[in-house]
Structure 1
Amino acid sequence: ILPPDTLALIRVGAQTGNLVEALREAAVLARTRGEAPTINLHGTLTYVLAVGLVLLSISGFIMYWIVPKFRMIFNDFGIKLPEITETVIAGFDGFANYWYLSILALPAGLLLTWLTAAFLLDVLGLGPGWQRRSFPWSSRWTPRLRTPAVLRCLAVCVDAGRPLSHALQSMSDFYLDSGFRGRLVYIFDEVSRGQECWLVMRSCGMLRRGELGMLEAAQRVGNLPWVLRSIADSIERRAMYRFFCLVQLVDPLIIVVIGLFVGFFCASMFLPIISILEKLA
C-alpha cells in the first residue's frame, strides 16, 4: 500500500522518537503526489489501437483485392513490380504466414509499454499505487531520484536530535528497494568511519555541488531540517518537470511513426501505376 520511501520515513521516525512528525510528513507527501498531474496513458493507447485497426483493415483489403490484380497486369505486360511494392508485399505475406506471432505481438507491445511507464513512475514516485511497481535495479541507474527519500529521513532524524547515522542505519537495514539498500549500506559504513555524510552522498551521485554547500552551511547555522526538505522537494519538482516534458513527446512521435507507415504504403501502391504509364508511353 505504501511506497518504500514512506515506509522508510515512518520507520526512522519511530526509531528516533519522532513518529508524529514522520507521519505528518508522510501524509503531506502522499497528498502532494495525489494532486500531481496524471499521465493519460489510456487515451494514448486507445488512439494507437484504433488507428492501428483502421490501418490494418484498409491495408489488408488492398493487399487481398488490389495487389493480386496488380500482379496479373504487370505479368501481362512483362513488367516487374517496383522494389518498394515487393517489399510491402513480402512484409504482408510474412504477416499472413505467421499470423499467430502477429497476434502475440499486440499484447507484448502493450505489456512493454506498461512496464516502461511503470518503471518511469517508480523512479519518480509518480502516479497512484496501482501504477507503480518496484524495480530493484532502477535505483542503480538513477540514484539521485532516490535522494529525496534519504533527505527526508535525515530531516526527521535531525528534528529528533539524533545523529545522522541512526537514520542511515535504519534505512540500510530495512529499505525495501534492495538495489538502493546496498548504496545506503555503503553510506552508513563511511559515515560510521567518520566521513562527512554529505561528501559521501556527493561521491555516490546523490547530491550536486551547490546542494553540498547549502547543507554544510545549514549544518553550521542550525537550519538543517528545513534545507534537507527543501532540497528534496526541489529534486522531485525538477524530475517531474523533465519527465512530463518527455511525455509530451510521445504523441508527436506516434503520429510521425504512423505517418511514415502510411507514406511508405501509399508510395508502394502508386509507384506501380506510374510504372505502367511509363511502359504504355
Structure 2
Amino acid sequence: MRHHKARGKSRSREKTQLYRWRWTGKNGKGENVDGEIVAVQRGEVERELAKQGIIVKSIRRKSSLFGGTGRIKPRDVMLFSRQMSTMIRAGVPVLQAFNVVTESLKNPAMRNLVQKLADDVAAGASFSDALRQHPRHFDRLFANMIEAGEQSGSLDRMLERVALYKEKVESLKARVRKALYYPAAVIAVGIGVTALLLIKVVPQFESLFQGFGAELPAMTRMTIAFSEFAQAYWLPGLLALVATIVAIQQGARRSPGFAYRLHKLALRLPVIGDILDKSAVARFSRTLATTFAAGVPLVESLETASGSTGSRVYERAVLRIRDDVSNGQQLHFAMRSTGLFPSLAVQMVGIGEEAGSMDTMLNKVADYYEEEVDNKVDALTSLLEPFIIVVLGVLVGGLVVSMYLPIFELGNAI
C-alpha cells in the first residue's frame, strides 16, 4: 500500500511539474507580441494563446520551476497567505487555488515550495499537514491556525489572520533592525575612513616630514605612531574581528546556553536593551493573541509563542509560563512570577482573563509595545545622529589637523 501511494504521489509530481514558457507571435492587429506563460505542457500554452487570438511564431521552454533559485523571504509567505485567502473566499477549491497562486508568484523558490504543497495536497494530505513538511518556512503558528481553519470551515479567515500577523511581526522586526544596524553601520564607516587615513594618507605626510629636520608636534608624533601600528597590524586585526564575529554566531547557533547568556547581555544594554525587551513582549502578545483567537488551546498557544519572541530569555520564561498554566495557574499570575514582563502587560492580561476577552487585551498589549518600540527607535536615531557626527568630526578632523600642524609651524618659522 505504501509503495502504491508513493508511486501515485510520484506520478502526481510528474504530472503537475510546471515550466516557464517564452512565446512570440502576432495578435489580431498583426502586431508582434511576446510574453511568458507558466504551464505543464507546450499544448496548454498553445491553447491559451489561441483563446487570446494570437498567431504563435515560437514557443520555448525556459526553465523548470523546480530548478528555480532564490531565497524565500517572510514577505513571500505573507503574500502567499493573502492570495490563498482571496482565492478560497471566492469559492475556488484549495488545489486549484494553489495552481493559480503558483502562476502569480515571482520568486522561483517560492513557486517551487507552493508547487510541492500542491503535490502533497493532491496526494491526499491536508493543507496543515503539507505545511508541517516545511517548518523552515511555515512555523508552528501557521500550521496550527490553518488546521483550526480547516476544522472550523473558516480557512480563508485564518489565512488572512496569518498574513496580518506576519505583516505586523515583520514591521516590528524592521524597526528593531533599524535600531541595531544604523549606529553599527555609521560607526563601521567611521572606523573604515579612519583606518584608510592612517594606512594610506598619513604615510605620505610622514615621508614629507622627514625632510623638515625639526621636531614634530606631539599630536603629529602620536598620529604617526598610530599609523605605523595600523600598517603593521591591520590585516591580523581584521581577521581577528571576522573570526570573533563568526565564533559568536556559531556559538549562539550551537550552544543554547551561550545564546541565552548573549541575549541576556543584550537586554541589559542601554536603550538597545529596552527596545529588544519591548519588542519581545510585543511579539509574544501578538502571537498568543493570534493563536488563542483561532481556537488553539492556551497551553499549545504558549508553546507556539515561546519561539516567536526573538529572545532566548523570553523563550525560556514563556515555556515556564506554559508549565505553570498547565498546572492550573492563571496566565497573568504566571507572567508576573517570571519577573520579566512589564506590570502594565500583566495587568491588562489579568483584566482580559477576568472579562473573557484575553485575545483582545493581548492585541492591545502588542499594539502598545509596538508603538513604544517605534518611539524608542525614533528617539535613538535622533540622539545618535548628532553624537555620531561629533565623534566622526573629532576623529577625522583630529587626524587632519595633526597632519597639517607641522606645515603651519614651518610657515610661521619662515
Kept in 2: contact 1:85–1:268 (CA 8 A): yes
The alignment status of 1:10 with 2:142, answered yes or no, reads: yes
Kept in 2: contact 1:147–1:206 (CA 8 A): no
Deviations 1:86-139 (Å, cap 9, x if unpaired)? 11111112223335346658x959x79xx9xxxxxxxxxxxxxxxxxxx95465
C-alpha root-mean-square deviation of aligned residues, in Å?
A: 4.6
Tell me the residue number matched to 1:159.
293
Larger relative strand fraction? 2
2:232 counterpart letter in structure 1: N
Which runs of structure 2 are paired with 1:10-159 in the superposition (5 Å)? 10-14=142-146, 20=155, 21-32=157-168, 39=178, 56=196, 60-61=200-201, 63-64=203-204, 66-75=205-214, 80-101=215-236, 108=242, 137=260, 140=264, 141=267, 142=276, 144-159=278-293
5+ unaligned residues in a row in structure 2: which ranges?
A: 1-72, 78-135, 250-257, 268-275
Does 1 or 2 have the higher relative contact order (CA < 8 Å, sep 6+)? 1
5+ unaligned residues in a row in structure 1: which ranges?
A: 116-134
1:23 counterpart letter in structure 2: L
Deviations 1:133-191 (Å, cap 9, x if unpaired)? xx95465435553233333343345435565223224556x769682443222111111
Tell me the residue number matched to 1:256.
390
1:72 shift after superposition = 3.2
Tell me the residue number matched to 1:218.
352
TM-score (norm 2): 0.47
1:27 shift after superposition = 0.5
Larger relative helix fraction? 1
Kept in 2: contact 1:168–1:184 (CA 8 A): yes
Counterpart Cα distance in 1 of 2:305 and 2:168? 23
Kept in 1: contact 2:279–2:373 (CA 8 A): yes
Tell me the residue number matched to 1:235.
369
Cα distance change of structure 1 residues 51 and 216 upon mapping to structure 2, 3 Å threshold: closer
Give the number of aligned pairs.
251
Cα distance change of structure 1 residues 86 and 239 upon mapping to structure 2, 3 Å threshold: same
Larger radius of gyration: 2
